[in-house]
A and B are shown apart, each in its own frame.
Chain A
């Protein structure tokens, strides 16, 4: 079944046996929990659009393993065109959900794993690539959503993994057995964890010889015995418990992140893809981060499209749309948004073939892309708040609008231009609040900052890849200085 229907996806999650805690309680029905459900809807959209002839060109691909039509989220990129289509697909998904749709992390992880395990086997004579490909085949056949789990909790940032007061602050191998390994640790910020069928774990940073036990990669069913989750809060999350139609800003879609705890998880050897080969940890981290930094040149742009549209509507609704500074601010927002997109497309178009056959983005341009992502969504959000006016944070609730006593005053006093119902104005302001300060701001703002690595991580890559010596040589030549 290489393409699951959205209904089959939801059904497949219902059959899983997740152990999940949220706000101090164990969640028995993850799929229908009102705080989690919108995030499931976002992932479900990746299945819905793959069935839609109007989007199949981007949402599906031909598997390089089987020749079958598969969801692009399960695909190994086979060309620069595939990399470009990935970014376009992510923009589309951002537009349709105005939220984080979570499935990219797994896609980026499989693409990084493919080339890294291939190179490991070639150099070390291991069989990681074979194992990985056999997992990937199943992932494509079953159209699984896979969580890409890289970030460790990391404890004292000034110390290496092995020097931490508690060794479990980085995921590690605690036991090597004949039939597999036992793992302990915690991955932080796991996007879409409980909407996933499997988790693909990777090391969080380049490991040294002393830290070989932390150079670890494997897959496990997301509901395996020995894994449990503590869901993160998002600002305004409990608005989803209030019922109503629009105070949550985006009723249907959202994202989630969770702590993923491995409590002596047993992993059979066939699911282990790195076990102490520290010298390949750097390549894996760098490639995964590179793909993920490219991803943000698509998904954040799609959410930006919605935010820009919402800001423009807010101006239409309050009658400020003809003011030249408002028009100029909308132009600036579009300029910033399309600059991010240009970076996503550029690093894709300049992609190259790896030894295993899949395509890797241009790492310098992908890092430039993400560095811009750490800034531009903040500026776009600032401009949206400027255009929206203070009402986006001082407006009474939907319940007050529905209340027979207060409702008529809200209708009367919060109207903008008379031809637009007050409720429409309130809806748009709530959407702007949601993306800039509410649940979706987790993805649009702070994830733009830290997701796929904090800003300094990109600057290190830019300095490494920037070819400064060649630039000096160019200047010397022009200035007539001998080489």
Chain B
């Protein structure tokens, strides 16, 4: 990594840090010990939502602090928490229908299709589009399109209609997974077999083997081809 230094502004305050760092390591280099705003440090948990602006551009940009490299003279602040609304529901009581989704989240229908959420998403998900699909009651489409959502809340923070897109999305994914995805017959069959004790003898006899015998079986076991 180069030793070049750049200045950045963390919540308005100037710090000089080595170039090439992520926003997260730049903050740490500047002396912050993060408590909020850091979770997985690998782009999976959505804890590190960050808003920033670079010189010469009036527009706010967004990114994950653990995944975004700093730019010279960048102004930034983290949004580690956003008080979005989660409806009170239990999946068992719902049906996989448009009615269920819209009764759970009536605000869904207030979406203006403005597309601000899509611009905000660090996962490059077309959030506006899955909201449109939700409004059409196409639960399977929402489930598929929103799949990579890390629930960072950035779309929520920017929405003029005060939608909680990520919560609508997880509701649809769960409805899809539980009710709409085709069932796996081989799995249901295996569960029955286990409950009937079909493998108990096999397992018991394997457990009773000494290490040497087990090792021989292991070394000689056949491997399913690719």
A joins B in a complex: no
